[in-house]
Structure 1
Amino acid sequence: MTDTKDEECSGKLVKLTLVGEPLTGKSSICNRYLGGCGVSFGSTQGAEVSAAQWVGARPPTPLQICDVAGAARVTNMLPNYLYASDIVIFVYDLTNLQSFDKLDVWMKTIKDIFESEPRKPLMALFGNKSDLEHQRAVRLSCVQKFSSEHLLENFKGSARTGEMVNTAFSKLISRVLGVKMPIEIVAHRKSTDTQISEQLNIQPVEDTNNTLIMNRKMLRKIQRKASSSVCCVQ
């Protein structure tokens, strides 16, 4: 990332808004990203807004994370919650088919709200509760079709284990800012997610992008070690 790009990102506030049906884990996802345990108790009333920072830019980019209650879709307050959103993340529970089917209604409602706006938000799809993959009720082909029809970034992860939460947020934020997501952030997120999964005795699903980065890092480490050994022998 160049100094010029850093200056452009400096001070820019990025707003992420999470929407979807009740009990899909939106609050838990926000809690996980903000450094919590990924478990939220009780239902959201209206919308909850949190402040954070994304360390992928220098200086860190200020964030506003808006967790919209599932019941807010049928209220007049939804346009206010979505106002100035740079990113809208549609969350569904992959063990609950109805939570996915309702996304069609959410999509139409939100597109209508932004129809007259000159700047449209970046939209993405997040399938939560991947730690319960054995209870999956939403077919992968349906998810792929929906994301393709609406041109959505498609993520699958778990607020409970932390899988893909940080990576998804960072990838979307970096796209809004027009910068490349630092490799260090991705590698750190992978390491952190693995530690959390081990503590919970849960085997996370591999993130192919992160695995590739970690493999390259490990390869360089092995090469340096091999080079050092040769020098010692000589």
Structure 2
Amino acid sequence: MSDSEDEVQSRTVKITVVGEPSTGKTSLCLRYLGGTYGAAPGGTQGAEVMAGQCLGLRPPVPLQFCDVSGNALGTNMLANYLYASDVVVFVYDLTNLQSFERLHMWFEKVKDVCESEVKKPLMVLFGNKSDLEHQRAVRLSVVQQFASEHLLENHKGSARTGDMVNNAFTNFVARVLGVKVRRMPAATNGKSPVSKDPALNGHMSYPLQTEPTQSLIMNRKALRKLQRKASSSVCCIQ
């Protein structure tokens, strides 16, 4: 293992998730860490810290999630929750317009808190509940404008189905570490594919990285089939 891999593996990336109540922040964290959707009813009080790994990178990267209560905006504890964050994810419910409109207050507060930080966190926007796109209450053009004005990366996905959650959060971690994420396998039946690596001792894993395939290059099986077909053909002169 190279020195750079040792450094990536030993560093813990802190992801702080903020936003209004009932936007699905806890469910997003649990979904990415391999937990069960809806496993934390009743809402978060204060902030909840969760530990895990980013298994979409090799070697796996230690993670610390700080799931901040939607009621923490007006408290003095918010600065403590945000301390040493590598990534701050602003979550809104795309079926709830108010959850998006109040994000400007979250952004200004986080910006003020992080002003004194030597290394500023990566700040991203995440629209949850994309499985309810037919009930969308937040116009896409408004979201894009907000993201552009505040220089935020713009993402959406679904904690319920897992759609785009793994890809988005793995990319956040990769951006912080300055490493490149290679293309991941496509989801099957709305679920992210998981690794069967025996080294994980039965724990759920997110997709391993795979090199992108070139669609213009035949695989060996297809090439052999084509060669057999050609050799068995009768040559006809037109």
TM norm. shorter chain > 0.5: yes
Using the alignment, how far apart are the partners of 2:165 and 2:214 within structure 1? 23
Q: Give 2:144's aligned residue.
A: 144
Q: Give 1:14's aligned residue.
A: 13
**Deviations along 1:124-160, whole A, 9 cap, x unmatched?**
0000011111111001011000111111111011000
Displacement after TM superposition at 1:104 (Å)? 0.4
Q: Give 2:41's aligned residue.
A: 41
Higher helix share: 1
Q: Give 2:196's aligned residue.
A: none
Closer, same or farther in 2 for the Cα pair 1:72/1:192, shift >3 Å? farther
Q: 1:56–1:182: 8 Å Cα contact kept in structure 2?
A: no
Using the alignment, how far apart are the partners of 1:51 and 1:195 within structure 2? 22
Counterpart residue identity of residue 191, structure 1? A
Over aligned residues, Cα RMSD in angstroms?
2.4
Residue number among 200, 225, 230 corresponding to 1:229 in the alignment = 225
Helix, strand or coil at the partner of 2:51: strand
Using the alignment, how far apart are the partners of 1:107 and 1:130 within structure 2? 22
Write the mapping of 1:48-127 to structure 2, written as runs, cut at 5 A: 48-127=48-127
Write the mapping of 1:174-185 to structure 2, written as runs, cut at 5 A: 174-183=174-183
Helix, strand or coil at the partner of 1:72: coil
Q: 1:174–1:180: 8 Å Cα contact kept in structure 2?
A: yes
Helix, strand or coil at the partner of 2:123: strand
Counterpart residue identity of residue 165, structure 1? V
**Deviations along 1:168-224, whole A, 9 cap, x unmatched?**
1000100000000132xx21xx3256347xxxxxxxxxxxxxxxx99x648378643
Using the alignment, how far apart are the partners of 1:195 and 1:103 within structure 2? 29
Using the alignment, how far apart are the partners of 2:57 and 2:65 within structure 1? 17
Q: 1:123–1:153: 8 Å Cα contact kept in structure 2?
A: yes
Counterpart residue identity of residue 29, structure 2? C
Q: Give 2:201's aligned residue.
A: none
Helix, strand or coil at the partner of 1:163: coil
- Aligned residue-pair number: 213
Q: 2:95–2:136: 8 Å Cα contact kept in structure 1?
A: yes
Counterpart residue identity of residue 104, structure 1? H
Using the alignment, how far apart are the partners of 2:32 and 2:43 within structure 1? 18
Using the alignment, how far apart are the partners of 1:152 and 1:193 within structure 2? 30
4-13 or 27-36: bigger deviation? 4-13
Closer, same or farther in 2 for the Cα pair 1:8/1:92, shift >3 Å? same
Using the alignment, how far apart are the partners of 2:142 and 2:20 within structure 1? 17
- Consecutive unaligned residues of structure 2, counting only runs of 5 or more, are 193-208, 232-238
Structure whose alpha-carbon radius of gyration is higher: 2
Q: Give 2:173's aligned residue.
A: 173
Displacement after TM superposition at 1:6 (Å)? 1.6
Counterpart residue identity of residue 123, structure 2? M
Using the alignment, how far apart are the partners of 1:91 and 1:195 within structure 2? 21
Closer, same or farther in 2 for the Cα pair 1:63/1:217, shift >3 Å? same
Using the alignment, how far apart are the partners of 1:56 and 1:159 within structure 2? 17
**Deviations along 1:5-55, whole A, 9 cap, x unmatched?**
323313011000000000000011111111123224211000111111112
Identity of aligned residues (%): 58
